[in-house]
Amino acid sequence: MKILVLHGPNLNLLGSREPEVYGKLTLAEINESLGALASELGCELETFQSNSEGALVDRIHSSTAVDGILINPAAYTHTSVALRDALAAVGLPTVEVHLSNVHRREEFRHHSFIAPIAVGQVIGFGCDSYLLGLRALFNLIKK
């Protein structure tokens, strides 16, 4: 089983970016924790971060040898029909995650274009959102 982990814009700055909102872990540290959990579960992971909407869409299109997608679309969550359409087009089970609880934040973060095509969301638990999301996606695909 192979799972593609996608990180959206500005997540490359994790660690130094608004740590009171997004936590102190860097993206490399989050990817490392995901890698450790993937080994424990016995699945393969591929991780990709981009600040560019088009690059994320292209990566989704080329996800042919992948069984599921774990995505933190970051700001594109609230703006991107293109990302949502790309995920719908490939039709892979998708779990949406967020480090912060977007519903406790500004109104513009309350709407997700991705949620209606995702199997589920895990939000508000920092790095654990990713780990819980990976576990849930793995269990779903395994069924």
Please give the Cα distance from 132 to 122 (Å, whole number).
7
Please give the Cα distance from 119 to 93 (Å, whole number).
6
E-strand stretches of 50-136:
68-72, 94-98, 120-123
Inter-residue contact 77 to 100 (CB < 8 Å): no
22 as an active site residue: the answer is yes
Q: Which residues from 12-71 bind ligand DHK, rule CB under 6 A?
A: none
The verdict on 100 binding ligand DHK (CB under 6 A) reads yes
The verdict on 102 binding ligand DHK (CB under 6 A) reads yes
Please identify, using beta-carbon distances, which residue of 27 and 75 lies nearer to ligand DHK: 75
Q: Residue 46 is inside which H or E element, if any? A: strand 44-49
The verdict on 74 binding ligand DHK (CB under 6 A) reads yes
Among 1, 10, 120, 132, binds ligand DHK (CB under 6 A): 10
Tokens of 109: 């973060």
Among 50, 72, 94, 112, binds ligand DHK (CB under 6 A): 72
Catalytic residue (choose from 7, 76, 98, 130) = 98
The verdict on 95 binding ligand DHK (CB under 6 A) reads no
Active-site amino acid positions: 22, 98
